[in-house]
Structure 1
Amino acid sequence: MGCCVFAATAAIGPRVALVLAWLFTNVVDRAFTGRVLPFLGLLFVPWTTLAYVFAYAPVVGVRGIGWFVVLIGLLLDMSSYGGGARSRR
């Protein structure tokens, strides 16, 4: 059930999903040590940060297909920045 709620809020927006996950679960705290890096991720690369939080496993970290998920998040962030630059021209 938690995964479905996580996916549904991600459809609304990565920043909303990340803030809700940070406030109501401990998945962000498990994936990152400290608060600075997830906050910077929230501001600048929200899809990548959300993908990293989703792909992180507590004992082993991010491995295998998890890095592919993080790469998809990075591509989504890059496309959103590129799309914004294109629309301004």
Structure 2
Amino acid sequence: MTTLFLLGPRAAVLVWWLVQPVRWQVAFHDMLIWPVLGFLFLPWTTLAYVLAAPTGALVGGSAWALVIIGLLVDLVGYSGPARNATASATSSG
């Protein structure tokens, strides 16, 4: 499972869903739209949520901290290309 995370979060989401579909059903209450949207837009957050939700650990703060860390990783991933484009535009301009 660790090597899947090295391939990228979307590959990990896909393979984990194929290997343990019941865990995903429990985490998202049999609603297909949320895992699909998570796969497309917030893959790290989706992975963190699936890791924490079925265990019932979302009642405590540590599981929510894991989900928030996943969200922050996703947001940094989206801001990284914009920051690099801005830096290269100002250095060449």
Q: For the superposition of Structure 1 and Structure 2, which TM-score range results when normalised by the shorter chain?
A: 0.7 to 0.9
The sequence identity of aligned pairs, in percent, is: 41
Q: 2:32 aligns with which of 32, 35, 38?
A: 35
Q: Which runs of 5+ in 1 are unaligned?
A: none
Q: Which runs of 5+ in 2 are unaligned?
A: 87-93
Please, what TM-score do these two structures have when normalized by structure 2?
0.79
Shift of 1:57: 2.6
Please, what TM-score do these two structures have when normalized by structure 1?
0.82
Aligned length: 83
Structure (1 or 2) with the larger CA radius of gyration: 2
**Matched residue, 2:3:** 8
C-alpha distance after superposition, 1:39-81 (max 9, x if no partner): 00110011001100011135x3623211010011001001001
Higher helix content, 1 or 2: 2
**Matched residue, 1:79:** 76
Q: Find runs of 4+ consecutive structure 1 residues off by over 3 angstroms.
A: none
Distance in 1 (alpha carbons) for counterparts of 2:17 and 2:54: 16
Cα RMSD after superposing both structures: 1.5
